[in-house]
Amino acid sequence: MNKKLIFAGSTLLIALPLKVQAEPQITPTPIESTTPQTTAPTLSSPNTTITPTQENQNTTEPVTLPQTNNTDIQREIDSEQEQNKLDAEKKVDALKENLKKSEDNKTVIKQQISEISKYIDDTEKTITDIQNKINETQSKITSTENNISSLTKSLGETQKDIVIKTAELNEQKKKLGETISFMYQNRDFGFFQFFFQTENLQDLINAHEFINIIADENEKIYKAIKKQEKTLKTQQKKLESNKKKVEEEKNALLTLKKQQELQKAQQDSILNTHIEHETEMSNKLIEEENQSKQIMAEINKVLEEAKPNIGTENIPLNTNQVLISPMKAGTYTISSVFGYRVHPVLGRTLAHNGIDMAAPLGTPIYSAGTGTVLFSGPASGFGNWIVIQHDNGLFSIYGHMSSETLYVKQGQRVQQGQLISAVGNQGRSTGPHLHLSIANAYNGSSFSYVDPLSVLK
């Protein structure tokens, strides 16, 4: 029995060391551990999983050790940049839509202000005409009042004259009456009796002449009295009639003046309403302009944040890049150069910030150099435009294309000589052509232009 026990123990002792030697010498340790005795194994795969031995399965979880991969990181960066670019484009598109609505509102408001201004001008002209008529009427009223005053004065003098003349006539009538009465009372005193009583012939002649003289004078006095009476009555009647007419004219003028003043008051009220409306529209226009400026500032902010090329590692600046003509030789003619000129549409001298390359509709337009599209879409005056920032720091601006021929979009990278659009006739244009501008700076809202012919090779 003892021999069996010794044999069994010996067998166990021999088996145990053999088992230990067969186990691997690596001990799994959590990645956070800093034990110096533990050395992590080198992994051939980024997602290698180390499984603990049977002895420590119940105490240690599996550990995954990632391996840094530059390609994956670059992809993530590119993906994030692309997403940021898309987000920026969406935001800019939304802001441009708001800007377009604001510009449309400004156009409507400006039209309304223009119409109101016309109403104001017409109303002011009407008021001026009415005021001139009121002044003319007042002048007539003043003249009529002076005429009435003159007639009244003349009538008063005539009445005084009539009183004096009447008194004189009455006196003459009295004398005439006395003479006639004397003759009547002495009607039996015959001429011969008077003749025989006369002491001498001369007295007789004198007496006869005296009687004739008295008779003639009496007749003259009578006729003068009648004539003066008739003249005075006619004059008085005429003065009364003239005074009445002048008074009626004055009253008519006063009525006309009241009507004119009422019309002026009505026009003044209309004018005030127009002015208030114009002020209201002007305030709205200011609000819209401020809103447009705010939207434009937001657009510039977004574009500045998503500015495609500032000399980063992804898109390094290439100062040696040379810009080429955006159209192939023989397909165009230069119809207008850089500098001041008489604008073909507006008709006044303005600075031309580029060159015009006349060509048939649809003539291909190519990118003047490698770069990134900053803008592609509607633009005031151009109809539609494309703006490319080149890797050499210059900007090329293409104008007057139709929306159907904008073959590139904002944020897109383009290569030199890549087809980007075709010749159009949109915006302020007198014929199919490409307007090309070159700028050497952009501050977020405006470009600094240079002569394209001094840049293109």
User: How does pLDDT run along the chain (457 residues), one tens digit per residue?
Assistant: 444 444 444 433 333 343 333 333 333 333 333 333 333 333 333 333 333 333 333 333 443 444 445 566 656 666 766 676 677 777 778 888 888 888 888 788 888 888 888 888 898 889 899 999 889 888 888 888 888 888 778 777 877 877 887 787 777 777 766 766 666 665 555 555 555 555 555 555 665 666 666 667 667 777 777 787 788 788 778 888 887 888 888 888 889 888 988 988 998 999 899 899 889 888 988 988 888 788 777 777 766 665 545 444 555 567 788 999 999 999 999 999 998 867 665 566 778 899 999 999 999 999 999 999 999 999 888 889 999 999 898 999 999 999 999 999 988 999 999 999 999 999 888 899 999 999 998 877 788 899 999 999 8
Quote the tokens at residue 34. Answer: 């800093």
Question: Which residues on neighbouring strands pair with residue 336, listed in sequence order?
Answer: 356
Quote the tokens at residue 121. Answer: 């001008």
Which tens digits make up the pLDDT trace of 64-121?
444 445 566 656 666 766 676 677 777 778 888 888 888 888 788 888 888 888 888 8
What gap in Å lies between CA 305 and CA 298, rounded to an integer? 10
Cβ contacts of 194 within 8 Å, gap of 6 or more = 204, 207
Rounded to two decimals, what is the model's pTM? Answer: 0.39
- C-alpha pair distances (Å), 141 with each of 153, 253, 258, 405: 18, 6, 12, 75
Question: At residue 227, what is the residue type?
Answer: K
- C-alpha pair distances (Å), 40 with each of 37, 45, 59, 272, 391: 10, 14, 18, 90, 47
CB burial readout 284-293, b (16+ within 10 A) else e? bbeebeebbe
- 7: number of CA atoms within 13 Å, CB side? 4
Cβ contacts of 365 within 8 Å, gap of 6 or more = 326, 327, 398, 401, 419, 420, 421, 422, 423, 434
Which tens digits make up the pLDDT trace of 208-241?
666 666 667 667 777 777 787 788 788 778 888 8
What gap in Å lies between CA 443 and CA 29, rounded to an integer? 58
Round to the nearest angstrom and report the end-to-end CA distance of the chain.
Answer: 110
Cβ contacts of 67 within 8 Å, gap of 6 or more = 43, 45, 46
Tokens 């004397």 locate to 182
